[in-house]
Amino acid sequence: MDKDMRIALVTSLFEKALRINDIYPRNKADSGDLPTVFVRFSGHIAAVTFEINENGWDAEEPEFRMSLHLDHTDGVFWACYKTISSRLDEVQKKAERTLKRMVAADA
C-alpha cells in the first residue's frame, strides 16, 4: 500500500470523526449523550489515535481507543483501519438515533 493510499484512508477516518462530532463544541452539559470522538496525530511516531466517548464526553476514560501507525505493515495497518472505521460507523448510527430521540423529546 503506497503512502498516498494510507493518507487517503486516514483522512477518511478523520472525516467520519468530524461528521460524528459536527462542527460545534461537544460537552455533556450542552450535547448530553451524543458520542464524542477525539483524534490525535503524533508525528514523532507516525500514529493517529482515535478515542470514542460513546455516551458523551466526560473526564472518564473513553470506551474505545486505538492508534493507527502509518508505518505498520500493510496487514496490520489494514486491520487497524477496518476496526476504527467500523467502530466510527457504529457510533455515527448511534449519534443519529440519539439526535432523533433528543429532537422528539423537545417537540
- Taking only the tens place, the pLDDT of each residue in 41-98 is 999 999 999 999 998 887 778 999 999 999 999 999 999 999 999 999 999 999 898 8
Task: Report the percent of the chain where pLDDT is more than 90.
Answer: 65
In one-letter notation, the amino acid at residue 20 is I
Q: How many domains does the chain have?
A: 1
Q: Is the pLDDT of residue 36 over 80?
A: yes
38 CB-near residues (< 8 Å, 6+ apart):
49, 50, 51, 52, 53, 62
* Whole-prediction pTM: 0.89
> Within 10 Å of residue 32's Cβ, how many Cβ atoms?
15
- Domain containing 51 equals 3-106
- Counting Cβ atoms within 10 Å, is residue 94 exposed (0-12), middle (13-18) or buried (19+)? middle
